[in-house]
Each structure stands twice: as structure tokens, then as C-alpha cells.
Amino acid sequence: MAGNSFGQLFRITTFGESHGEAIGVIIDGCPAGLPVDLEYIQGELDKRKPGQSKITTQRKESDTVKILSGTFEGKTTGTPIAMLIPNEDQRSKDYSHNVDVFRPSHADYTYQTKYGIRDHRGGGRSSARETAARVAAGALAKLLLKTQGIEIVAHVSSVGKIKAPNVSINDAQEFIEEREKNIVRCADPATAEEMIEFIDSVRKDGDTVGGKISCYVKNCPVGLGEPVFDKLHADLGKAMLSINAVHGFEFGSGFEGSEMRGSEHNDIFVKSHLGDVHTITNFSGGIQGGISNGMPIEFRVAFKPVATIMKNQATIDSQGNIAEISGKGRHDPCVVPRAVPIVEAMAALVLADHWLRNRNSKLS
């Protein structure tokens, strides 16, 4: 199975299945001498782990990460870093009824057809459990970016048709602290309460709902990204669309920009009294010609409703016979709150990779 690695200079390879012994990641290309804050890495994993609240899946995983290689005396050595996260609460019997049937909107049929074999226990490799490995790697990428003053923050900006108003970010840590005050991870408290109530009603109905995450990159320098195939927004799009359940990505003005005129949409450059160049508006989302322009990078990621619902559904089995899949097992009514650290992690991996590439593109 190819396609398990991501990045060029800051490169990760994830491994493991939902119901195997463990999942993990190997990080290659992280510069030597970076202090490794294990408490910070674990804190990022804690934001993604299941069982956090009544509006997330009740699978109980501590997601305790172990660093097996690539560090010495609390710092990276420049060699491959291996991180391991043991699985603790697999409950494979919850999936015994899925052995021979294809769950609607899951990867069962496509995996079976492509490989001739599939792990029916929670989807195996296709399970969102794999994203814990990405969060661990992304936390390390965040630590690297922090040395350059680059901060990445995200929050749940919509659930179903409930939308939060635009939020301003003056201080990244204050924004995160405000977001973490509620279980839905929305930075607007009033909207958060409405979202929580709605998700809980969906949960009680045995159903699921999707939503959007808005992400912001502060203090990104000018020059990250490449002008043709490796555009910064193209790599961000690939990263986000690789996350389970993601069905949409837009940056800057996004799809709404298609409804504007160029005279409205163009970001006018100005120079401040301090000599720095910026734009009056930011419809470009901080990226022009595939390269960061120094303005805040802004993008949004849309998640579909989780495919596992607690309702019986019609389907077929592996022989093509009509079958029914029962609503059984653990239930995640809305994955979006737990996806916030995943979006941040994938953004960090892209930016860390491009920062290293940019650093190497100039003569010192």
C-alpha cells in the first residue's frame, strides 16, 4: 500500500491500524537541536483523543505517545524520529457484524476491490484512528515553527447550518484558551452553546452531522511555497483533503471570490511607516502565486457527517446480495471538535516542510 508518506524535507510516514497493537509515525528531516517538549506533544494528542465529552465517540484511548528514537537529552539529533501510540480499547467484537457487508459511505467496498482483502475492524488503515500519528508529528512541526514565531490556530466555525461570526486573533495562546473553554472548540461562546445543543440532539437521534474548521497562520514569512506544482495552497489543500471525512477546502475568499469582480477582490499593497509591506484586504488568504505574502494565511476545511450512524441501513454483501447493516458500536455524532488539532497538525507539517525548503533555496 503506497501513499503512507507526506512531505519532502520534513517527511512523515505513518503506520498501524485502528485495531492493531499500535499506530505510529516516523519523522525524517527534522533539524537537529530542536528541544522536544513531550508535555506539549501529549497535550495536542489529548485534544484529538476519543472519549472527551458526550458529543464525541466513547472509545477510551489515552493516546500516550512514546518517542523511540531521534532524540537525545531532550533535543532532536537530526536522525529519524519514531513515535508510537499503543491501542488500548479496540473492541473488535463491535465490528463482527461487518465481516461480509459493505458499510454505506465507508471504504469497505473500495478497499476490498482494490486489495482483495480488508480489515473489517473499524476500517483498519482507513480509520480516522490513523490521524493520531499525524497529530504527534504535527506537534513536533509546530515546535519547529514556533522557533520562527509562526503560530497556527483553528476552531470550529460551523456545525450543520449553525455558523459562528468571524473572529479576530490578536494573541494565539489567548485564542486557544478561549476555544478550549467549550467542548465543541468554537471560539465564539454563544455559538458554541448552540452547536453543542444541536450535536447532542443529533446524537440522541442516532445520527451524525458535519461542519467546518477555520484555520489561521500568524507571522508566516514571505516566500513559503513554490510557483508551479508545489504551491503553498495546493499542498495545504492536499494535506487537508487527506484527512478522513474532509470533503472541501478553500482559502482566502474561497468560493465566494468567484462571485466578486477583480476590482473588489484585488488586495492592494501598502507600506507602513515601519517599512513593512502588507495588503489592505486579504482575499488572497495570505498566498499569492502559490507563495506566502506575509499576510495571515486563512483557510477553511469542510467535514462531511461521519458515516457510522446508529440506524439500520440497506446495503449489499461481498457477493452482491441485498443485506442490512445494523446501527451498532460506538458513535461519533460530530467529528469536527476532535478534528481541530488534526487540521492544525497537517498545516504545521506543510509549513515546516516549506520553511525548510525555503531556507535551503537561498545562498547564506
Question: Among 307, 270, 267, which Cα is nearest to 288's?
Answer: 267
Neighbours of 358 (CB within 10 A): 18
135 marked as part of a ligand binding site: no
127 marked as part of a ligand binding site: yes
Question: Nine-digit cell at 119?
Answer: 480489515
306 marked as part of a ligand binding site: yes
146 marked as part of a ligand binding site: no
Handedness of CA 159, 163, 166, 167 (dihedral sign): negative
Neighbours of 277 (CB within 10 A): 12
54 marked as part of a ligand binding site: yes
11 marked as part of a ligand binding site: no
What's at 149, amino acid-wise? G
59 marked as part of a ligand binding site: no
Distance CA 358, CA 132 (A): 28
The backbone torsions φ and ψ at residue 173, rounded to the nearest 5 degrees and listed phi first, read: -65, -40
Q: Which residue has the cell 484511548?
A: 61
Question: Among 90, 131, 159, 162, which Cα is nearest to 333's?
Answer: 159
339 marked as part of a ligand binding site: no
- Give the DSSP H/E element, type plus range, for residue 303: strand 297-303
304 marked as part of a ligand binding site: yes
Whether the Cβ atoms of residue 71 and residue 81 lie closer than 8 Å to each other? yes
185 marked as part of a ligand binding site: no
312 marked as part of a ligand binding site: no
212 marked as part of a ligand binding site: no
Distance CA 306, CA 232 (A): 28
Q: How far is CA 346 from CA 12, 215, 235, 342, in A?
A: 11, 11, 10, 6
Longest dimension (CA), the chain: 72
Distance CA 209, CA 305 (A): 4
Question: Among 115, 134, 353, which Cα is nearest to 244's?
Answer: 134
Distance CA 177, CA 185 (A): 10
Q: Which residue has the cell 471560539?
A: 187
Where is the binding site, in residues?
Answer: 48, 54, 125-127, 244-245, 289, 304-308, 330
- Binding residues for NADP(+), as ranges, are 48, 54
Annotated binding-site residues for FMN read 125-127, 244-245, 289, 304-308, 330
